[in-house]
Every structure is written in structure tokens, then in C-alpha cells.
């Protein structure tokens, strides 16, 4: 079974530029998550989708971050404009149905460096 | 905000020894999960323990949960060099939405 795919793996941009990340979850998984992991910390949930609807985006900085999952399959996360503090690894995860005991499967992440 | 706090922050042991990692948290939870992250990779789910469970085993892993002390421990027995990674506890707090809150992680180094 193919895992969660993310691209690009690495991205370097200058502050105030825009950037987009792509995620393709495991086939058939209804729930998709985007996490931000700053160096030396654990992942922090940014947004959770159930199919193409948003379940939780309470920790998403909505003035600069946006995410969509239009057809309930793959998803994009955008940052516009980027700040220095956005440097982090952005992890995508998916789970079958998103229940409390459902296992989350993580992709390899996109490492973003903002100069 | 981060709910779980792992202890120690870093642990170095010899291959074959046991590794014990602890996690403390602050609020009521539905379950607690442990994840492993190898350098430069995504996280891998290891084990989940529900709030009404006290101990759980999976292969060389043993997890305990003490809800009265709001703490959990992860024991890896007979460690191998391949166990070298960062380990995170993640809590699913009681509340309307299921959401995992991760700690800062423990770096485990297993020397061959």
C-alpha cells in the first residue's frame, strides 16, 4: 500500500514570498491533517479535513495560511506571505475515518526554510 | 500549546539495554499515543493506550498509563541500533473534537 506522498521535500524561499505544499493521502482515507513541526518541537496541528470539509482549523494562522481539499482526496497548504518564523517541517497525515483511536499515517514532510 | 512533556529530553544507551521514556500531561485525556520519528522522516505510530487501560504491550514495547498522576511511560526492551530516533507522546484530550497534541519529544541514541 502506498503511503502518504508529499511534495516538494525541500523548499527555500525569501520572506514575503509565497509557497505551496502538496499532499496525497493514502487511498480511501477520509481524514487529512496538516501539521507544522518547528525544529526541536513536536508537531502542531494546523488543520484537519474530513473528506473536503474542515473539522478543525483553530491553530491555522488564517491571515497568511490557507488550505484546501477540493475533491476530498489530495490537499494543498499555502503560505502567503511567508515569515521567518514559518521555517519548519510541514507534515501531512491521513487516517481512515478520523475517530479518536484511528491511527494517523504521516508523510515524509516538506522542510521549509524562509530566509 | 504542547500538552505532553517527555522526560528525559535525550537518552543514550547501549544496544541490548532497556530504554524508558516518560511523558506527563496536564488535562483529561481519551487516549495517549506514542510515535517514533527517524531523522528527516515522518512520524510512525507505535502504540495507543486508552484512558481506562493501565498497561499495554506490543512486541518489545510496553506502555503504562497512570491517569491519577497524568503520566505515561514507554519501555523499549532489548534495544537495537535501529531504535535510534525521536519519540513523541501525543494526547487526545477530552472534548468535542479528536485532536492530537504532541510533546517536544525524546531523542534516543542506541550505541552498537
Local confidence pLDDT in tens for the 112 residues of chain B: 556 788 889 999 999 999 999 999 998 999 999 999 998 788 999 999 999 999 999 999 999 999 999 999 999 999 999 999 999 999 998 876 778 999 999 999 999 9
pLDDT digits (tens, 9 = 90+) for A88-112: 999 999 999 888 888 999 999 999 9
Question: Is B31 close to A100, i.e. CB distance below 8 A?
Answer: yes
**Contacts B105 to A, Cβ<8 Å:** 41-42
The whole-angstrom separation of Cα B39 and Cα B85 is 7
- Cβ contacts (< 8 Å) between A4 and chain B: which residues? 42
- B46 in Cβ contact with B36 (< 8 Å): yes
Question: pLDDT above 90 covers what percent of chain A?
Answer: 89
* Selected residue of B43, B44, B94, B104 to mutate for chain A interface (largest A Cβ count, 10 A): B43
Q: Which residue of B42, B93, B99 to mutate against A (max A Cβ within 10 Å)?
A: B42
Q: What is the largest CA-CA distance in chain B?
A: 46
Compute the distance between CA of residue B40 and CA of residue A6 in angstroms, rounded to an integer.
Answer: 13
Judge whether B24 and B4 are in contact, CB under 8 Å.
Answer: yes
| Cα–Cα nearest to B49, from A98, A45, A101, A43 | A101
Average pLDDT value over all residues in chain A: 95
Within A38-96, where are the H helices?
none
Amino acid at each position: 500500500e502506498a503511503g502518504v506522498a508529499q511534495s516538494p521535500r525541500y523548499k527555500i524561499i525569501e520572506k514575503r514570498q509565497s509557497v505551496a505544499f502538496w499532499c496525497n493521502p493514502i487511498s480511501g482515507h477520509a481524514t487529512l491533517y496538516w501539521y507544522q513541526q518547528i525544529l526541536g518541537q513536536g508537531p502542531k496541528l494546523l488543520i484537519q479535513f474530513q473528506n473536503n470539509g474542515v473539522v478543525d482549523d483553530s491553530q491555522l494562522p488564517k491571515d497568511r495560511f490557507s488550505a484546501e481539499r477540493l475533491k476530498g482526496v489530495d490537499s494543498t497548504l499555502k503560505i502567503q506571505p511567508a515569515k521567518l518564523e514559518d521555517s519548519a517541517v510541514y507534515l501531512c497525515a491521513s487516517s481512515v475515518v478520523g475517530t479518536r483511536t484511528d491511527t494517523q499515517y504521516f508523510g515524509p514532510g516538506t522542510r521549509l526554510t524562509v530566509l | 500549546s504542547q500538552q505532553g512533556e517527555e522526560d528525559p529530553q535525550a537518552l543514550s544507551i547501549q544496544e541490548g539495554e532497556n530504554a524508558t521514556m516518560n511523558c506527563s500531561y496536564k488535562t483529561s485525556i481519551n487516549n495517549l499515543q506514542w510515535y517514533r520519528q527517524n531523522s528527516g522522516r515522518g512520524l510512525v505510530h507505535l502504540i495507543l493506550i486508552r484512558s481506562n487501560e493501565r498497561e499495554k504491550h506490543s512486541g518489545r514495547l510496553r506502555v503504562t498509563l497512570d491517569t491519577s498522576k497524568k503520566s505515561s511511560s514507554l519501555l523499549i526492551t532489548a534495544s537495537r541500533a535501529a531504535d535510534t530516533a525521536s519519540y513523541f507522546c501525543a494526547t487526545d484530550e477530552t472534548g468535542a473534537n479528536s485532536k492530537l497534541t504532541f510533546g517536544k519529544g525524546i531523542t534516543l541514541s542506541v550505541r552498537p
